[in-house]
């Protein structure tokens, strides 16, 4: 009878050990089982890795959306006078592209920019081109979006950029001299 109890006890202990091992390993095995990543995001070790242009716990947010709309710009470059004007930020052709309308307070000037997370990139491009007299200017820069005490989360952009004309004159907005351009919602 003693051997019988011993066999039953060992069988029960073995079954409990197997059940615990299977349960524990299945919980740790697939951290992505209950996670769905949007817009082609991929779950790795319980976290969504989002494709360019998307963010959030499940890649559910289009990054550029927080940049869109009108911004009040206050700036004073190294060559230009202090100015305040409005820029409209609109969607570009792809998911990371933005169009800056009325950049530098010129209605005919659209500047292409790209976003990645909290950073805005203005690649080198020609603006203010005048074919009649052959003049042009070139712009490039970067900026970041941040919280503003009056306008809240994503309410402020700090942009550092330069504009260089064909004669080599550089109007600097916070890259090497001058103050950065401040944009508020």
Domain boundaries, the chain: 24-59, 64-184
Q: For residues 43 and 22, what is the distance between their CA atoms, to the nearest angstrom?
A: 23
Query: Across 131-169, where does the E strand assignment appear?
Result: 135-148, 152-165
Is residue 127 pLDDT above 60, yes or no?
yes
- pTM for the structure as a whole: 0.77
**Domains 24-59 and 64-184 fall in the same CATH topology:** no
Residue carrying the six token digits 């600097």? 172
Say yes or no to pLDDT of 3 above 70: no
Residue 74 structure tokens: 């206050």
> For residue 62, what are the β-bridge partners?
54
Average pLDDT over residues 57-86: 95
User: CB under 8 Å to 74, separation ≥6 — which residues?
Assistant: 82, 83, 84, 181, 182, 183, 184
What pLDDT does 152 receive?
82
CATH no., domain 64-184: 2.40.128
pLDDT in the model for residue 4:
64
Q: How confident is the model at residue 91 (pLDDT cuts 50, 70, 90)?
A: very high
pLDDT above 60: residue 24:
no
Q: What is the mean pLDDT of residues 156-160?
A: 96
pLDDT-derived band at 169, boundaries 50, 70, 90 = very high
**For a pLDDT cut of 90, what percent of the chain falls above it?**
67
Cα distance between residue 57 and residue 25, in whole Å: 25
Query: How confident is the model over 92-125, as pLDDT tens digits?
Result: 999 999 999 999 998 777 999 999 988 999 999 9
Please check the confidence at residue 9 and state whether its pLDDT lies above 80: no
Greater confidence (29 vs 65) lies with: 65
What is the topology classification, in CATH, of domain 24-59?
Laminin (2.10.25)
pLDDT at 108 (0 to 100) = 77
Residue 149 has pLDDT above 60, yes or no: yes
């Amino acid at each position: 009878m003693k051997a019988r109890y011993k066999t039953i006890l060992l069988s029960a202990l073995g079954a409990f050990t197997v059940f615990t091992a299977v349960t524990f390993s299945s919980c740790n095995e697939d951290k992505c089982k209950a996670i769905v990543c949007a817009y082609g995001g991929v779950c790795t070790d319980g976290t969504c890795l989002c494709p360019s242009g998307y963010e959030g716990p499940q890649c559910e947010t289009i990054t550029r959306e927080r940049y869109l709309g009108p911004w009040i710009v206050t700036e004073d470059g190294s060559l230009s006078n202090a100015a305040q004007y409005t820029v409209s930020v609109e969607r570009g052709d792809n998911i990371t592209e933005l169009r800056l309308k009325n950049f530098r307070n010129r209605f005919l000037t659209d500047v292409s920019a790209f976003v990645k997370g909290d950073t805005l990139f203005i690649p080198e491009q020609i603006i203010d081109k005048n074919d009649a007299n052959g003049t042009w200017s070139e712009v490039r820069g970067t900026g970041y979006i941040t919280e503003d005490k009056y306008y809240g989360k994503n309410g402020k952009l700090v942009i550092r950029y330069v504009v260089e004309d064909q004669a080599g004159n550089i109007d600097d907005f916070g890259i090497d001299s001058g103050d950065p351009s401040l944009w508020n919602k």
